[in-house]
Amino acid sequence: MKFRITKSLLDAWYWSFKLEDGYDTFMKVLNREPIQPTTKMLKGTQFENCVNGVLDGNPIPEDHEWFRGVTTMAEYLDGSQQQVNLGREITVDGVTFLVHGILDYLRAGVVYDCKFTSNYHLNKYLHSAQHILYLYLVPEARRFEYCVSNGTDVFWEKYPRYIVPEPDEIIRDFMRYLDKQNLVDIYTKNWEVSSYGKLEQIYTGRA
C-alpha cells in the first residue's frame, strides 16, 4: 500500500498550529473535503492565469491593474514547461508514500512557483513544504524559486538544493502527529494511492 503526500496536505498541517481556523481547514484537507476558495486564493489563481495567458501569446491589456507584475513575471518565466504533473515514491520507516505535485513551471533545472500576495516579506515561504517536496520530485533540479507579485512588483525567493532537506523528516513528523492525534486511519483511508493516474512522470524510489 502507498499513500499520497502533497504540499497542500503538509502546508495545511503546518498552518493548523498558526491560524485560528487552521485545524478545521486541516481536517477538511485530511478528509478530502472541498474547501471554499478565499478571496486571496481566487486572486492567486486569476494572477497565474494572466501570466499563463501572456506566456501562451495572449497579451494583458496595458491598463490592467496587474499589467506590470504579470508582464515582468511572464518575461522571467518565458520558455518554461507549464503545469508539470509529477510523482515520486519515497519510503519512510517502512511505509511507501507517493510524493505528488503539479509544478507551475519547470525550465533548465529550476522549478518555479507563481504566487500572488499583497504583503510579501523576506522568507515568506521558508516554512512551506512546497520547495522540499518539489525539489524531491525533480532529482535533477538545482533550485526552487517562488516568483511572488503584488500585481505591480515581483519578488524572488530562491532555495538552492544544497539548503533544502530531503522530505523524510517532515513526512516522519507528520505521521507521528497523526499517530498522537489518532488520525492515522483517516489519512490512510483518504490518501491511499490505488492508481497513479495520468502522471507525466513517475520516479520509483530515490535517484
CATH hierarchy code of domain 2-203: 3.90.320
Contact by Cβ (8 Å): 200, 87: no
Rounded to whole angstroms, the Cα distance separating 7 from 100 reads 8
Write down the pLDDT at residue 135: 98
Q: How many residues does the chain have?
A: 207
Predicted TM-score of the model (pTM): 0.92
Q: Would you kindly state where each structural domain of the chain is located, as residue ranges?
A: 2-203
More confident residue, 205 or 24: 24
- Is pLDDT of 199 > 90? no
Report the Cα 58 to chain-centroid distance in Å: 26
| DSSP category for residue 17 | T
- Main-chain phi, psi angles of 202, to 5 degrees: -130, 120
Q: Is 57 exposed, middle or buried (0-12, 13-18, 19+ CB in 10 A)?
A: exposed
Rounded to whole angstroms, the Cα distance separating 104 from 14 reads 22
Taking only the tens place, the pLDDT of each residue in 36-54 is 899 999 999 999 999 999 9
Q: Is 203 exposed, middle or buried (0-12, 13-18, 19+ CB in 10 A)?
A: middle
Rounded to whole angstroms, the Cα distance separating 207 from 203 reads 8
